[in-house]
């Protein structure tokens, strides 16, 4: 399968290699895992587990890399280095060293881990420390001390709040308490929602816990106002009014990043261009002057959920002092950990027809970084990266102008009167309504042919309304519905709404049905670059079953058989797909021979 995909990619590296390693608490037993992901010829995302190998030797990066390459060569007979375009691991320094040893690949950060780190520090669950030497006035000698250096200052209230919210939800872990809570919800006509019995896992799940606690607030309040003999009212009474206020403020501050970490980056079919748009939207939202916080005492509808509960707009200056610390801490972590857009990001945006006309606006540093540059927060390295993007902006504008300076001579959406006007600065406007045009200039050489293909691609624009209508799963939606949702009017200019395009348009479906036939070479590049994996969530799911391989009987005997069983379990969907494909090929051959 991998060899066939390599040939289909014109022998260009195309694979995402996701690798990880772990050891037991004693450090005597270790496990090395490797997975691969890519977009196949059918424009479907493929995630396949390659290795789950017991390794109790040295964890030097060069030896781990040699183990991965040699083991894959032994198992599958392929040179993984020659077909790897991207390597990804978690944020551990040792794992990142292994990625860098794949010389011809591009090491990428796992967005899921990076976003969770931003949240864990922003919400006060961890602190950054530095070692400094201060002069001891008593001895007049340098003295080594550890000093807190987290941007934004200490935020012990955040960690305390999370512990209290978890304790409140975990209080309802018995059937007796859960049943009584449900009866109170029915009696007071409150929503029948179960609390989340939470464990300390991903930090982004803490935001989900906050949201469910806010929705359940009236039910919790009614429960502890009429306590039974077995109840402990202190679980609820230890929350002060300022802590409930801080709860809704922290939820509003962290919501956009938590949604990215918990949902978007873990999707198995998330294309990299969508993630760039979503990331920029989330960072711009974090830099806004207005936050949308829940109304804690608002009336609950009959079937409420986190999306339907009313929110109120509040200016950043009206946030509490502790909430402002949370804002500053998260902004500091984002500036420190999230990378700026690179040349590879520009390539990805140019290969997506939804974003190629708006690269110049998407590569602009997010508002958060612009604020940091003005305020002198960004380091010299970050300033240089931003300056480099600004200098290259003219080149990008020259590329995009090839598509903008066209005469509109093709099909455009009808009923433009339905297009709503927007003043929200967070709405990301895409390309204006332009049309494709073809060039009949004769070509003389291979370079001229390549230039012609690029020129056609830069000039090609798509009417996304019929494409969305074709892809829609709801038959009740009409062209007018998509005209209103996919297009926006700002200052009398009608443009595509980038967030709506990412939501309603499956770009892989468009390439499979239309784009690959019209632009085959562009499509080959697109499968590589839009298939860049956003996270190693699949690899972590594979690792969750590593105990089958690391069990005591199998660390010394029958390891190959146990590893094969684990790999087949995780690859069963891909194995079935390959079996169905081979059956269809056999049926076509039988049909052809019978004619």
Alpha helices, DSSP H only, in 472-551?
479-486, 498-504, 507-510, 516-518, 520-529, 537-543, 547-550
pLDDT digits (tens, 9 = 90+) for 292-326: 999 888 877 777 777 888 899 999 999 999 999 99
pLDDT score, position 577: 83
Rounded Cα–Cα distance for residues 207 and 253 (Å): 10
In this predicted structure, what is the pLDDT of residue 494?
85
- Sheet holding 84-89: strands in order across? 45-54, 30-39, 15-23, 84-89, 106-109
Angle, in degrees to the nearest 10, between helices 61-76 and 93-100: 60
108 vs 95: CA distance, rounded Å? 12
The domain spans of the chain are 2-109+533-594, 156-275+283-337, 339-400, 406-505
Q: Distance between CA 159 and CA 121 in Å, rounded? A: 10
At 391 the pLDDT is 42
In this prediction the pTM is: 0.80
Residues in CB range of 452: below 8 A, 6 or more apart: 439, 441, 443
Q: Report d(CA 3, CA 9) in Å as an integer.
A: 10
DSSP, res 288: S
Spatial distance between the Cα atoms of 106 and 346, rounded to a whole number of angstroms: 15
Q: In 3-state terms, what secondary structure has residue 127?
A: coil
Phi first, then psi: give them for residue 148, nearest 5 degrees.
-70, 130
Rounded to 5 degrees, what are φ and ψ at 158?
-65, -50
Fold of the 2-109+533-594 domain: Nucleotidyltransferase; domain 5 (3.30.420)
Q: Please give the pLDDT value at position 229.
A: 83
In 3D, which of 495, 352, 485 has the Cα closest to residue 431? 495
Report whether 39 contacts 530 (CB < 8 A): yes
Q: In this predicted structure, what is the pLDDT of residue 407? A: 41
| Alpha-carbon distances, residue 190 vs 35, 109, 303, 546 (angstroms) | 46, 44, 9, 44
pLDDT at 382: 39
> CA 44, CA 531: separation in Å to the nearest integer?
10
Residues in the chain, pLDDT under 70: 24-28, 191, 193, 197-203, 365-418, 421-426, 428, 431, 433-446, 547-559, 595
Alpha-carbon distance values, 104 to 83, 87, 343, 399, 402 (Å): 9, 10, 16, 27, 32
Asked if 352 contacts 277 with a C-beta cutoff of 8 angstroms, the reply is no
Structural element, H or E, at residue 24? none
Q: Is the dihedral of CA 451, 453, 455, 458 positive or negative?
A: negative
Predicted local distance difference test score (pLDDT) of residue 396: 44
Q: How far is CA 586 from CA 5, 102, 204, 462, in A?
A: 20, 39, 47, 37
């Amino acid at each position: 399968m991998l060899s066939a995909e390599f040939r289909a990619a014109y022998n260009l590296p195309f694979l995402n290699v996701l690798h990880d390693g772990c050891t037991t608490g004693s450090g005597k037993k270790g496990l090395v895992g490797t997975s691969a992901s890519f977009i196949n010829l059918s424009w479907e995302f493929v995630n396949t587990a390659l290795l789950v190998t017991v390794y109790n030797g040295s964890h030097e990066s060069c030896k781990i890399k040699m183990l991965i390459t040699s083991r894959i060569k032994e198992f599958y007979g392929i040179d993984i280095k020659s077909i790897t375009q991207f390597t990804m691991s978690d944020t551990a320094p040792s794992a990142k060293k292994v990625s860098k040893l794949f010389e011809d690949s591009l090491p990428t950060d796992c967005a899921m881990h990076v976003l969770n780190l931003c949240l864990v520090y922003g919400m006060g669950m961890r602190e950054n420390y530095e070692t400094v030497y201060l002069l001891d006035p008593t001895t007049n000698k340098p003295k080594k001390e550890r000093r807190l250096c987290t941007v934004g200052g200490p935020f012990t209230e955040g960690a305390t709040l999370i512990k209290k919210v978890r304790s409140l939800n975990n209080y309802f872990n018995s059937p007796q308490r859960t049943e009584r809570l449900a009866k109170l919800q029915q009696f007071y006509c409150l929503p029948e929602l179960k609390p989340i019995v939470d464990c300390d896992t991903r930090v982004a799940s803490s935001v989900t816990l906050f949201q469910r606690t806010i929705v359940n607030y009236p039910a919790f309040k009614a429960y502890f106002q009429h306590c039974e003999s077995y109840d402990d009212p202190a679980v609820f009474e230890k929350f002060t009014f300022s802590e409930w206020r801080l709860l809704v403020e922290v939820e509003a501050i962290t919501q956009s990043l938590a949604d990215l970490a918990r949902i978007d980056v873990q999707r198995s079919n998330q294309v990299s261009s969508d993630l760039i748009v979503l990331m920029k939207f989330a960072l711009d939202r974090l830099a806004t002057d207005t936050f949308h916080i829940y109304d804690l005492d608002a009336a609950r509808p009959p079937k409420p959920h986190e999306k339907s509960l009313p929110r109120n707009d509040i200016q950043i200056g009206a946030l509490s002092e502790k909430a402002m610390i949370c804002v500053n801490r998260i902004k500091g972590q984002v500036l420190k950990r999230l990378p700026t857009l690179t040349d590879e990001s520009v390539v990805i945006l140019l290969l997506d027809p939804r974003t190629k006309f708006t690269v110049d606006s998407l590569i602009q540093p997010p508002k958060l970084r612009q604020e940091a540059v003005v305020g002198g927060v960004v380091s010299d390295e970050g300033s240089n990266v931003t300056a480099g993007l600004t200098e290259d902006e003219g080149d990008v504008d020259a590329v995009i102008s090839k598509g903008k300076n066209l005469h509109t001579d093709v099909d455009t959406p009808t009923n433009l009167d339905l297009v709503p006007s927007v003043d929200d600065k967070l709405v990301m406007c895409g390309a204006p309504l332009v049309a494709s045009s073809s060039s009949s200039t004769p070509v003389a050489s291979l370079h001229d042919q390549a230039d012609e293909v690029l020129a056609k691609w830069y000039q090609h624009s798509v009417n996304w309304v019929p494409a969305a209508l074709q892809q829609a799963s709801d038959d009740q939606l009409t062209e007018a519905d998509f005209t209103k949702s996919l297009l926006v009017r700002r200052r009398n200019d009608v443009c595509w709404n980038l967030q709506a395009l990412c939501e309603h348009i499956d770009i892989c479906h468009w390439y499979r049905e239309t784009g690959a036939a019209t632009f085959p070479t562009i499509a080959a590049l697109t499968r590589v670059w839009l298939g860049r994996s956003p996270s190693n969530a699949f690899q972590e799911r594979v690792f969750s079953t590593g105990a089958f391989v690391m069990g005591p009987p199998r660390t010394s005997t029958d390891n190959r058989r146990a590893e094969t069983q684990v790999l087949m379990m995780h690859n069963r969907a891909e194995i079935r797909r390959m079996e169905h494909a081979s059956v269809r090929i056999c049926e076509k051959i039988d049909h052809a021979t019978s004619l």
